[in-house]
Amino acid sequence: MIPRDNLTSVVLVGGQGTRIRHLLPDLPKPLAPVAGRPFVEWVLRYLRSQGIARALLSTGYRADKIEEYAASLAIEGLEVRCAREPTALGTAGGFLHALERSGDRTGDALACNGDSLVLAPLGPLLRTLDDAAIDGALLAVRVTDAGRFGAVDADEQGRLRGFAEKRPGAGLVNGGVYLFRRTCIDRFPRGRPLSFEYDVFPALLAAGSRIRVVPCDAPFLDIGTEESLAQAGAFIRDNREWFA
């Protein structure tokens, strides 16, 4: 199993959050106040509860605000640093840039969003790389209605085949939590901007990489809409046991 204290987690906080910007005119979306703290702090506290000791915040839009927040943050046992994108690099581009800035050229890495939470144990995801045949993995959440999200398509062995278009009905949706072996990261496309779903995973699959889909039944929230942001406080209060 991967030693969690040696695993680098990159939290993606660079997006512009256009759908709710009218509610947060002076703040990037991950700093939206939720249950008394910026939402991204709940993401970081969840990671710490799962044994993660090092987190990089990949910043972009209003990076100064997030850097100011990070400088004042204190979560016992968790080191938090920022890596500012020079231009908009996309989700996977920001992930690569943060790793490059960190100086870590050898370790495996976890990617997650700073504006969403999947409250599932990370152990099953981390253990996928105990299998030397697996190059990476992603968390997929079982939902009763996948209409708002792209569905995850897996084969009979639980390996990723791709992402389906948004469609109503029950299914597995992408939780936005990804684990990559270092050798897999080295095979990412190098163009910029770079998206995980539209660029990285298709390229990896086309090259024969084996990506495990780890399904979970878990509380899941993203704060990308006015409605979901309004629900965020109750979501945190109802799931306090998941946060360090």
Residue-wise pLDDT for 173-205, tens only, equals: 999 999 999 999 999 998 889 999 999 999 999
Residue 1 has pLDDT above 50, yes or no: no
CATH number at residue 112: 3.90.550.10
Confirm whether 137 is domain-assigned. Answer: no
Confirm whether 161 is domain-assigned. Answer: no
Residue 150 has pLDDT above 80, yes or no: no
Q: Considering its fold, how many domains does the chain have in total?
A: 1
Question: Which tokens in the block code for residue 82?
Answer: 């920022």
In this predicted structure, what is the pLDDT of residue 100? 93
DSSP 190: -
Confirm whether 232 is domain-assigned. Answer: yes
Confirm whether 166 is domain-assigned. Answer: no
The backbone torsions φ and ψ at residue 156, rounded to the nearest 5 degrees and listed phi first, read: -65, -25
Q: Using omega within 30 degrees of 0 as the cis cutoff, is the peptide bond preceding 38 cis?
A: no
Which residue segment(s) compose the domain that 49 sits in? 4-130+177-207+220-242
Q: What is the pLDDT of residues 166-179, one digit of tens each?
A: 777 888 999 999 99
